[in-house]
Structure 1
Amino acid sequence: MKKPRVLLHLAALAMGLCLLAGCAAQPAAPAQATIPHIETSPQPTVAPSPTPTQTPAQQQDLQQVYGSCGLLAWPSVLYSIYLQDDANPWTEEALAQTRQNLAVAVDWITQQAQTYNAQPKIYYDTGENNLSTFAAYKAGLTEDTTTGTAFYDDVDTLTAQVDVEFIQQQYGTASIGYLIFLPVEGASYSILHYLEDGGNYLNEFSCLYLYDSYAGEKTYNSPTVYAHEILHLFGAADLYVGSRDTFVTQPLAQYVLNTWPDAIMYYTYNSDNGISYDHIEKTLCPLTAYRLGLVDSFPGSEQFPAATQDPPGVFSNGAGQNWTASDEAT
């Protein structure tokens, strides 16, 4: 029997709320598949020294609505931070697998968005560009030490050190999502900006573990998990029972299962609970496309109007009616 991913909980912080969206429910352990080499699409061409289309003040206003990572239709950068410690260094094999997963995930997101007539430009770490850094984590890396407010504060400190101005000049966008890669076993999750956070907790990040803690010892995480978490950065909600998103009720989750059983925001394992590394056996369902701002409506919107309360790409606690910032892309 399939079990949906269960959201990990994050307590309200003093200055606002962030969402901790991760995996939990454990399916039958899949067999470790052979990891093939995947040919992926080339990254979008980077225009030299592009001129930003937004002033710093406008960018700040947009970030207070969307967080650091804006809408999927905007040019965006996924900046990778590889944490390691003495006991868990990054090996060449682990790096190659991680970057391959990331390439497959971004390819899939791009192709799925194209089915909705969108042409996203997503720049990411290939090992041959300037979109990554390595950092030692002295507290030690385990699943326990990589969750909780102390770790989130440490990641906030790391992301604040990234040269955003250089990225904006090089890639022509201020829309940046951060990928925190962890060379240990765990349940991947994302920390997201809420509308109520205002100018706090702007930097949005996904923590992606090398190994899937629910799939057997030393089983690499899948590109499906990467894509699921990356979509959170752009505004996609979890669509399973237990989601912290206020509009995701049990009837809506059942509707998703009945209507789009292969929706990536509902479940990240294959239909047989297995894992694929060379492709993603999921779809970007119309409801998720709506939440990402790719379409103006979705089947079921009249039945579930709460899903349309907040603007696309925005997480909130029901305060969507207060949204006033410009919706122009950076």
Structure 2
Amino acid sequence: MTKKKIITVIILVAVIVAVITGLIIELDYFDVIDLDYKPKYPGVAYEDLGSAKKLEGKTALVTVFASDGYDKWDFTQPEDKRKREELLRYLSVGTDWLIEQGKKYRVELEFVQPFDENDNVLYYEHDFGDIIVNDDYMSRFMNKEADYEWDFIDSYVNNDAIYKELGCQNVVYYFFYDGGTLPNTFIYELNVYNKPFERPYELVVSPYWYSGKNQPISPDMLIHELLHDFGAPDLYAPDNHDFLYHTTSDFVDFCSVFHTTDIMYTTGGNVNRQFYWDRVDAEITDITAYYLGWINHPPLEVDFFRLVRSQHEKH
């Protein structure tokens, strides 16, 4: 190694040490160190983890194109056909990316999902009438309730065929609504965390139009919510409602420096990010891999910030 390269390496190491030291001093991280700290676990049995137990093996993605009191899908119209085609393609773009991310952790993934309306096991359409798919979503999200969607799944989805004939270990149900007439639209999910659901179906509710009518939903957002169903927490916001692992503001500050490329950070933590519909411009890092059950031992920041351990660690 030349003298110039040695000096460069020394400077880089000094900069890294300075950044970490500054972060520690600024956030008083030493004040939270407790040698007697005992890790906490979600305490939910493996068999109660819902339809998205662990992200490995074969996972089915059921798609339901949901009409409601605001918007109706009309697939005799070319525009709605185009939107449907795009949503199914975005989901495929996302799962292709996820398969490659799994390979980094020697996790084999396979997804079965509909590519058009002719799949009678994984593709559905339903008119919920005056029930608005996105109505009072925060209350339903907080209370872990999805009676309208669960009733539909019980009545119409052939889960026996999905598990037995297709040989799937996991199932996630995507409910797609248009959202074009709403002033604001949201994508959200319902996931099992620290207690079982009344019914085991874990789902994602997504509009075509994201945030009003500014742009379509993107593949990374569809996959971000899917990863929630399998246990991954947000890295861009603290867990103030005991939804996933008691992530703290200090931990989020840490992620804003050290996990800025992780998909659980990029979809919410980077307000200036670029949106892409032909790829996912993010990665899965060790913190998310741990909460997905892809690695067994928690990264140091888990206990450092007193986060709840992964729901997969004891299974």
TM-score (norm 1): 0.69
- Residue of structure 2 in register with 1:311 after alignment: 311
**Greater Cα offset, 102-111 or 118-127:** 118-127
**Equivalences for 1:93-242 in 2 at 5 Å?**
93-127=82-116, 128-129=118-119, 130-139=121-130, 141=132, 143-144=134-135, 148-149=139-140, 152-161=146-155, 162-185=157-180, 186-197=185-196, 200-213=198-211, 217-242=213-238
Q: Is the 8 A contact 2:231 2:244 kept in 1?
A: no
Query: Which has the larger Rg?
Result: 2
The 2-side partners of 1:268 and 1:302 are apart by 21
**Residue 55 of structure 2: aligned partner:** 72
Cα offset for 1:168?
Answer: 1.4
Q: Evaluate the alpha carbon distance shift between residue 302 and residue 133 of structure 1 in structure 2; reply closer, same or farther with a 3 A threshold.
A: closer
Deviation at 1:300, TM superposition (A): 2.4
Task: Tell me: CA distance 1:196–1:217, structure 2 relative to 1, closer, same or farther (3 Å).
Answer: closer
- Write the mapping of 1:250-269 to structure 2, written as runs, cut at 5 A: 250-268=249-267
TM-score by length of structure 2 reads 0.72
Report which structure shows greater RCO (CA 8 Å, sep ≥6). Answer: 1
Displaced runs of 4 or more, over 6 A: none
**Within 2, Cα distance between the matches of 1:275 and 1:262?**
14
Shift of 1:309: 2.5
* Partners of 2:301 and 2:85 in 1: CA distance: 41
Judged with a 3 Å threshold, the aligned counterparts in structure 2 of structure 1 residues 301 and 158 are, in CA distance, closer, same or farther, namely: same
Measured against aligned partners, the alpha-carbon deviations of 1:35-77 in whole angstroms (never above 9, x if no partner) come to: xxxxxxxxxxxxxxxxxxxxxxxxxx7441x111111113211
For residues 264 and 281 of structure 1, the distance between their equivalents in structure 2, rounded to whole angstroms, comes to 8
SS of equivalent residue, structure 1 residue 190: strand
Give the distance between the partners of 2:300 and 2:165, measured in 1 at CA. 41
Shift of 1:142: 6.6
How far apart are residue 133 of structure 1 and its match?
A: 0.6
Equivalent in the alignment of 1:23: none
> For residues 236 and 104 of structure 2, what CA distance do their matches in structure 1 show?
23
In 1, Cα distance between equivalents of 2:250 and 2:192: 26
Kindly tell me: are residues 289 and 310 of structure 1, through their superposed partners in 2, closer, same or farther at Cα, counting changes over 3 Å?
Answer: closer
Unmatched runs of 5 consecutive residues or more in structure 1: 1-60, 314-322
- Taking the aligned partners of 1:257 and 1:218, their CA distance within structure 2 comes to 26
Identical counterparts, % of pairs: 20
Q: Which moved more, 1:150-159 or 1:282-291?
A: 150-159
| Whole-angstrom distance in 2 between the partners of 1:75 and 1:157 | 25
Q: Which moved more, 1:73-82 or 1:146-155?
A: 146-155
Query: Match of 2:296?
Result: 296
Asked whether the 8 Å contact 2:179–2:209 carries over to 1, the reply is yes
Q: Corresponding residue for 1:89?
A: 73
**Number of matched pairs:** 251
